Structure formats: C-alpha cells, structure tokens
Amino acid sequence: MQWLNRKALMLEQGAIRAMFDRANTMQDVISMGIGEPDMPTPAPVCEGAALAMEQGFTHYTPNAGTAVLRKAVAEKSYIKDLGYDPAKEIIITNGGMGALSLLFLVILNEGDEVLIQDPQWLNYEAQITYCGGVPVRVPASPEHRFEMQPEDIEKRIGPRTKALLINSPNNPTGSVMSPEALKEIAEIAKRRDILVITDEVYNTLVYGSVPCVSIASFEGMKERTVVINSFSKAFAMTGWRIGFAAGPGEIIGKMTECMENFNSCASSVGQYAALKALDHPELSDEIRSVFSKRRELFLKGLDDIPGIKYIEPAGAFYVFVDIRSFGLSSREFCDRLLDEAGVVWIPGSAFGECGEGFARAAYTCGEEKLRKAVDRVEAFCGKISSERGL
C-alpha cells in the first residue's frame, strides 16, 4: 500500500537545500547560497519578544494575528498610504511563505494558471502545483535584466489564467522593476481581469536610484492585488516566521479561515517581536547599509575576474552572475566551484530554464569571507579558463 498521495510523491528537495546538504559534509566552505541575513535579530526586537513572554503573551492569538500587529502593519508599515482595513484586509502569517501558501489554497481551482517569471525563486512553483494550480513561466532574458516584459506576460494570458505573480526586488536576480514597467503590467491586469500577487519581501533592500514601489499603489490595483511581505529579510528575522498579506477582504477572510484550520495563528511571541520592529524602521536601514557595503565590495571583486559578468542588482542581496563564457552548465560550474574552491553558489538553472548560464551568489556573509570567496572564485575561474583553453 502506498501511504503517500500523488502530490507528496511529486515533491522534491530544492536545489538550494541540496547544495547546503552537500556543503555541510565539507570543511572550510564559504556559503553564498543562503537567502537570509546573517546578522542577529536586532536587540530591541528581541527585547520586545522577551517582554511579551514575561507578560504571558504566549498563547494562541486570533487567526488573523493580533489586532495590534494588524493595526501597526496598516498604519506604520510601507503600505500605510494604501488604507488597508486591519480588521478585514490584513492577515499575519508564518512568514511570507505562509502567506503565499494560504493564498494559493484559497484562490486556485484545479488547473488554474499562475504566471511566474523565469528565472524565479523556486518555491512558488511547488506551492502552486501542490494547490492544484499550474505555474506558467514567463521567460525573461539578460537583455532585459531578467525582468519579464509586458508583451510576454500578455501573450501567456489565457482562459485559465487566474493570477500573475511578481517579485521585485527579485530573487534570484536582484533586479527592481521600474514604476513604468509596473504601470504597464497593472494595465494588463486590469484589462485582462487577473489578480496580481506581489511578493515584496526584499523591498527594504534597495540600493540604486530606481524607487521600489508596490504595484498595489497604482490606480485601480489595490482591489485586484495581494501584497505579500515579511519581517524575515528586513529585520533579520527569518526564524521568527512572521509575515503578512494585505489584499481584498474576500481573499484575506478566506485565508484567515484556512489559517484557523491548518495553523491556528502565527507565533504569538514572534508577532510581538514584529510589532517592536515596526516601531524601529531605522533597524532595517542599518541592515540595508550593511548589505549595501557588501554589495559594493563583492561587485568590485567580480569586476576583476576575467570571464565573469553580472546583471547589476539594484535590490535584495543576490547577484546573478553570468558564467556563460566558461562553457560549463551552471550546475557543473557550481558543483565544481563547491568541490574545488569551497564556495557555494546556486546554479541559475535551479530557478528556471532561462537561468541557465548564470549562478546566484548571495552576499549574506561578512566582508572578510566575501573577500576570501572572491579570491577563491578568481583562482577557480582561472583554472577553468586554462583547462578549456579560453
């Protein structure tokens, strides 16, 4: 008897986890694979949680999250100008991932399609498929900084298209969509009557001159957009598992009912930590400036490596490194980089077919390690070049 259902049998370990597992068996590895801030959660946030524990806020909260945190998200976070009703239009979730999974559970019927960029963070596909949906990839090219183009989106909209998912700043490319591009996409969504899901978990980590705006802020979009965000990246709070979704009351209400049945609520102590974080936006500015310095250092290091190019990232903490000149597949390149140089980068092909020829490097380690990683990558690239007569 097969105990597992077909969906479970289809689940596979993601390429990122697989790389970690391999790296964990090795000595002296520099990990540039991990997508989380490496610094500790800021002290005031931890103090907020400690106080909550002392005061006994260690029980179930309402399914949608505590009223105070929902109110704070509506009134103090970056979406405050959009006027969300904290009683009906905001839910606190187990991280951004928890928000996405609840959302897919309540919007997807069997066979409904969701448009997703290629290359793109892996987990969306698995979640959509598990919820009966069909992920439809919208190819993006290096010529367009790996940002999907409006005409390519529109071409893929059909009778089963329910939603378009955008993620800016982007994982894995670090690109930030311009307000003009978002406006064009918003027009398509309105014209073709589709829902937009905007995953904005990296929106505090922006370095260039392109302002990072939410597509929900464009005329007529709030009512057809679900904003996903979390405290994970902005406040180095990945382990606290607190995120939120803001969107039409009808959708958020059903997500809340799902939460009641599957999880009850997000962690109570985590919610008090998040409440404190919203009172201290300067803490996420400090994290941003650490990453900004590292970004500069790392890009400068890459500039000096013959054969290496990259898409200049304006956000998040990733660089999508162009390794096409070495003539190896991205998997071969990354496997050998780990085995022969002790550096973890993630093969671009793990993020979709269009990511082939690229590798994702996360500058989520300290400056000293970054310098060492650059030296190792340089020596490795030199070796590959001479081996292949480049």
- Chain positions contacting ligand PLP, by CB under 6 A: 35, 95-97, 121, 167, 171, 199, 201, 230, 232, 238, 243
* Nearer residue to ligand PLP within complex by CB, 200 or 378: 200
Q: Write down the least CB distance from residue 317 to ligand PLP, Å.
A: 10
Q: Write down the least CB distance from residue 328 to ligand PLP, Å.
A: 26
- Nearest-CB residue for ligand PLP: 95
Distance of CA 290 to the CA centre of its chain: 19
Q: Do 168 and 176 contact (CB within 8 A), yes or no?
A: yes
* Nearer residue to ligand PLP within complex by CB, 230 or 301: 230
Q: Do 275 and 65 contact (CB within 8 A), yes or no?
A: no
2: left (phi over 0), alpha (psi -120 to 50) or beta: beta
Cβ neighbours for 303, distance < 8 A, ≥ 6 positions apart: none
Q: Do 18 and 344 contact (CB within 8 A), yes or no?
A: no
Q: How far is CA 62 from CA 84, 94, 178, 247, 259, in A?
A: 18, 14, 37, 18, 10
* Nearer residue to ligand PLP within complex by CB, 240 or 326: 240
Q: Write down the least CB distance from residue 37 to ligand PLP, Å.
A: 11
- The span from the CA of 279 to the CA of 71, in Å, is 12
* Nearer residue to ligand PLP within complex by CB, 247 or 342: 247
Q: Write down the least CB distance from residue 219 to ligand PLP, Å.
A: 26
Q: Write down the least CB distance from residue 119 to ligand PLP, Å.
A: 12
Helix/strand/coil for 105: helix
* Nearer residue to ligand PLP within complex by CB, 63 or 171: 171
Q: Write down the least CB distance from residue 304 to ligand PLP, Å.
A: 29
* Nearer residue to ligand PLP within complex by CB, 96 or 270: 96
